[in-house]
Structure 1
Amino acid sequence: MTNELSRRMDEHVLNAGNPDSFAGRYYCYHLVYYERFTYVQHAIDREKQIKKWSRKKKEELINTFNPDWDALNEEIKEMRD
């Protein structure tokens, strides 16, 4: 959960290879799914809900939003500019 997605994506890239963070350890820096919320608590609740799901269910969610699993990083950066 973040209030500035483009900044958070940059942080993931900078953490690449860092064994102390999940994103760094697994080189997670290609965004394939995101949701927007008006209220912070709704975003936190949704994140907690999704984290409890199985990998299969998470993949199904991504497939409905981004069936080709395209990296959305550039799209988000363009929205920032």
Structure 2
Amino acid sequence: MKIYYVYILKCADKTYYTGITSNLENRFFEHQQGKHQESYTYKRRPLELVFYAEFSEVGFAIDTEKRIKKWSRVKKEALINDEYEKLPNLAKKKFKK
């Protein structure tokens, strides 16, 4: 069974990059070495792998990556820091009264 990884990298400029791969070690090495000059991470090295999750179904992994990419910085940091109980409240929109 093939395993897919959704991962988050912390860039040198303190931004986050979210991606998907079937070979986490190799993909992280490619990011660190700057294999793709057009990539978001190229000018933001060095990088730190701060989160990853494993999936057995590629479709679910892709959906998860797309969902995380839309998240706010605060919500991504809650995920990175294993503060899962905060995620539902961070997903709620705040409305002015």
TM-score normalized with structure 1 length:
0.71
Normalized per residue, which structure has more strand?
2
CA RMSD of aligned residues (A): 1.7
Identity between Structure 1 and Structure 2 (%)? 44
Any residues of structure 2 matched to 1:1-80 within 5 Å, and which? 1-15=20-34, 18=37, 20-27=38-45, 29-64=47-82
Segments of structure 1 that go 5 or more residues without pairing to the other structure are: 66-81
Q: 1:28 to 1:48 in 2, by over 3 A?
A: farther
**Helix, strand or coil for the counterpart of 1:53?**
coil
Normalized per residue, which structure has more helix?
1
CA–CA distance in 2 between the matches of 1:28 and 1:47?
22
Segments of structure 2 that go 5 or more residues without pairing to the other structure are: 1-19, 84-97
Deviating above 3 A after TM superposition, structure 1's stretches of 4 or more consecutive aligned residues are none
> Rg larger in 1 or in 2?
2
CA–CA distance in 2 between the matches of 1:44 and 1:14?
24
TM-score normalized with structure 2 length:
0.60
Q: 1:28 to 1:45 in 2, by over 3 A?
A: farther
**Helix, strand or coil for the counterpart of 1:36?**
strand
Q: CA deviation at 1:30?
A: 1.2
- In terms of mean alpha carbon deviation, does 47-56 or 20-29 score higher? 20-29
